[in-house]
Amino acid sequence: MREKLLALLERTAEEVSGAQDISALEEVRVRVLGRKDGELTVIMRSMGKLPAEERPEIGKLVNQVKAQIEEAISARKEALSEVKAVEVVPDLTLPGRRPRVGRAHLINRVTDQLVDIFHGMGFEVALGPEVESEYYNFECLNFPPDHPARDMQDTLYVKGGGVFRTHTSPVQIRYMLEHQPPIRMVCPGRVFRADVVDASHSPVFHQIEGLLVDKMVRMSDLKGLLAEMAKQLYGAGAKVNLRPSFFPFTEPSAEFDIVCVNCEGAGCSTCGQKGRIEIGGAGMVHQEVFQAVGYDKYDVTGLAFGLGIDRLAMMMCKIGDLRLLFENDLRFLAGV
């Protein structure tokens, strides 16, 4: 058995030194030292057949052979690991992998585009709080106490006082209280109303409102401003339609539509089969609003308008359902 052990040690040492990778080295280890069928394990199990006087010497030799084989395997494994580490050093001259670059949400891109358009017409940007007092949100804008828009069905009230602003018009009030005419300003932002979610409505949406106050401002100025805005957004063929309407803070008042670019006027889910989309309201600033902010209502006139940014974005990208803009599906958002 001594000769058998020494022969196994010599042969295993050659195989270990000749192993070219970790996988081949592991095969040698399992074949020789495996607990179930390893060659050395089989020899150790047969020691019970030896004469009692030979067992101590052979047992000592078995332990020495096992220790030498394990040491050889460990040394070879360390050497192979060092070689592998050298092999996987990256080539720093190769071009790197560029990280995936995000981009602004469609709503933000449309907002920025609108701001740029109005900035080119001489308007500056103003911002205000999303939680407002009823004074700025309703009273200064000539809403009577019993106006339907102040009902719980339309307005989201805050516990302890205040409302989630239902439009960005309060920003116009705050701006006029701090500035004297002439004024040209726009106020983009998020607004809130108790509305039912469907393909074209949401309780949280985005507006951009504008205000121009000066001497001799006319309704024709308003129509020309809106027409120019539509052309810059949708091209020279964009059509704006004004319809008589009513708002407490403007007189006269109008709603304005744009022919649906999704169906080109034929009717679709985006426009509610009407062929056109109402994108906002406008009109000449009511004299009561001027009086509320301390302007001389006989000395100045003004125009005001408000646009629904979400619906403009839907038309620009031909999106049929408003909810897609807020569901955070990156597969959709990456494509618009």
Tens-place pLDDT, residues 188-218: 999 999 888 887 788 899 999 999 999 999 9
- Say if residue 254 is in the same domain as residue 282: yes
Residue type present at position 278: E
Average pLDDT of the chain, as a whole number: 86
Query: In this predicted structure, what is the pLDDT of residue 191?
Result: 94
Residues 75 and 141 reside in one and the same domain: no
Same domain, 79 and 142: no
Which pLDDT does position 332 carry in this prediction? 83
Give residue 153's pLDDT.
67
Domain tally for the chain? 2
Place of tokens 């407490």: 248
Q: Is 235 left (phi over 0), alpha (psi -120 to 50) or beta?
A: left
Q: Are 306 and 209 in contact (CB under 8 A)?
A: yes
Q: Are residues 143 and 46 in the same domain?
A: no
Q: What's the confidence (pLDDT) of residue 85?
A: 56
* 131 and 66 assigned to the same domain: no
User: Is residue 101 one of the residues assigned to a domain?
Assistant: no
The answer to whether residue 98 is domain-embedded is no
d(CA 333, CA 222): 34
Q: Residues 196, 197, 201, CA angle at the centre, nearest 5°?
A: 90
Kindly state whether residues 67 and 191 are assigned to the same domain.
Answer: no
pLDDT at 22: 84
Q: What is the pLDDT of residue 254?
A: 94
What pLDDT is stored for residue 50 in this prediction? 77
Instruction: Tell whether 80 and 133 lie within a shared domain.
Output: no
Beta strands 250-259 and 163-164: pairing type?
unpaired
- Give the contacts of 221 (CB within 8 A, at least 6 positions apart): 212, 303
Write down which residue in 19, 52, 87 finishes a domain: 87
Beta strands in the chain (DSSP E): 124-125, 131-132, 163-164, 183-192, 204-214, 240-247, 250-259, 276-285, 301-308
> Which of 165, 125, 111, 171 minimizes the C-alpha distance to 309?
111
pLDDT of residue 261: 67
Q: What is the pLDDT of residue 83?
A: 63
Residues 170 and 267 reside in one and the same domain? yes
Residue 111 and residue 56 share a domain? no
| Percent helix / strand / coil, the chain, rounded to 5 | 45, 20, 35
Cβ contacts of 200 within 8 Å, gap of 6 or more: 269, 270, 272, 311, 314, 322
* pLDDT score of 78: 84
Q: Describe the strand order of the beta sheet including 183-192 as a list of residue ranges.
A: 124-125, 183-192, 204-214, 301-308, 276-285, 250-259, 240-247
Among the candidates 87, 119, 148, a domain finishes at: 87
Q: Is there a domain that residue 159 lies in?
A: yes
Whether 94 is in a domain gets the answer no
- The verdict on residue 92 lying in a domain is no
Say if residue 190 is in the same domain as residue 223.
yes
pTM: predicted TM-score of the whole model, two decimal places:
0.66
pLDDT at 104: 87
> Of the candidates 175, 255, 247, which has an alpha carbon nearest to the alpha carbon of residue 213?
175
Tell me the three state secondary structure of residue 95: coil
Give the range of the structural domain holding residue 13, as residue numbers without chain letter: 2-87
Q: Looking at the structure, tell me whether residues 54 and 119 fall in a common domain.
A: no
Name the stretches of the chain with pLDDT < 50: none
CATH number, residue 194: 3.30.930.10
pLDDT in tens, 39-62: 888 878 777 777 877 778 878 888
Of 87, 118, 134, the position where a domain reaches its end is: 87
282 plus 229 within the same structural domain? yes
